[in-house]
Structure 1
Amino acid sequence: MEDKNLEAIMGLIMYGGNAKSDAMEAIAAAKQGEFKIADQKIKDAEHSLVEAHHSQTGLLTQEAQGNSMTVSLLAVHSQDHLMTAIAFTDLAKEIIDIYQRL
């Protein structure tokens, strides 16, 4: 696997993991009534998701230019990490909203 591809894949895993972790911390803060902290943690999660998308865009651009890469288990795992982080962040926003209404 090319170093450039490996770097992008690891970026997806790292930023996706950071986003999910921040979203979980946002829920925990909201549960304690700390909505400013929850809001900041969601913003941090969204920032990490943007960074992950940058990594993903690099891979997609290469593919579109005809530079296909071999799909490895690590590449699949990175995409799974990103998709889970996106879903988790979206769900965290809804949970925080519920806590605010309580």
Structure 2
Amino acid sequence: MPDNYEEIIMGLITHAGACKSMAFAALQAAKRKEHTEAQYLLAEADKEAKKAHEIQTRLIGLDEGEGKIPVHLIMVHAQDHLMTAMLARELIAELILLHQNKD
């Protein structure tokens, strides 16, 4: 297990949270008919999701499928954040399309 395990996990939570926040900000922009801003915020959300996914991939690699990385509650919490952020981003992209088509 890496010495900075908690720091790595907090990075996962931070990037996943930023992804979700930016996606919801994009939805608010779309509701205001600021479609360029909405697309920009979705792209920023994607960048944060990519950073979070890279951390997750690194952890999976460190584990090597052998249980080398302990699964503490904070890890479960981080994974939950990532998955809900990714789902929110996908659904919000669809909602933004609906708003654009309505205009």
The bucket for the TM-score relative to the shorter chain is: over 0.9
Q: Take 2:63 and 2:53, find their aligned partners in 1: how far apart are those partners?
A: 15
Q: Deviations over 1:43-95 (max 9, x none)?
A: 00000000001110110001117461221110000000000000000011000
Q: CA RMSD in A?
A: 1.5
What is the alpha-carbon distance in structure 2 between the residues aligned to residue 20 and residue 44 of structure 1? Answer: 10
Give how far 1:5 is off: 2.1
Which ranges of 4 or more aligned residues in structure 1 deviate by more than 3 Å? none
2:55 partner amino acid: S
* Aligned residue number for residue 64 of structure 1: 64
Q: Which residue of 2 aligns with 1:44?
A: 44
The one-character-per-residue Cα deviations of 1:6-64 (angstroms, maximum 9, x if unpaired) are 22211110000000000000000000000000000000000000000111011000111
Q: State the Cα distance separating 1:2 from its structure 2 match.
A: 4.3
| Maintained 8 Å contact 1:22/1:44 | yes
Residue identity opposite 1:16 in structure 2: A
Q: Which runs of 5+ in 2 are unaligned?
A: none
1:87 aligns with 2:87: yes
5+ residue gaps, structure 1? none
Q: How many pairs are equivalent?
A: 102
Q: Which range is displaced more, 91-100 or 57-66? A: 57-66
Choose 15-24 or 63-72, whichever is displaced more.
Answer: 63-72
TM-score (norm 2): 0.92
Whole-angstrom CA distance in 2 between matches of 1:96 and 1:31: 8
Residue 4 of structure 1 deviates from its aligned partner by: 2.9
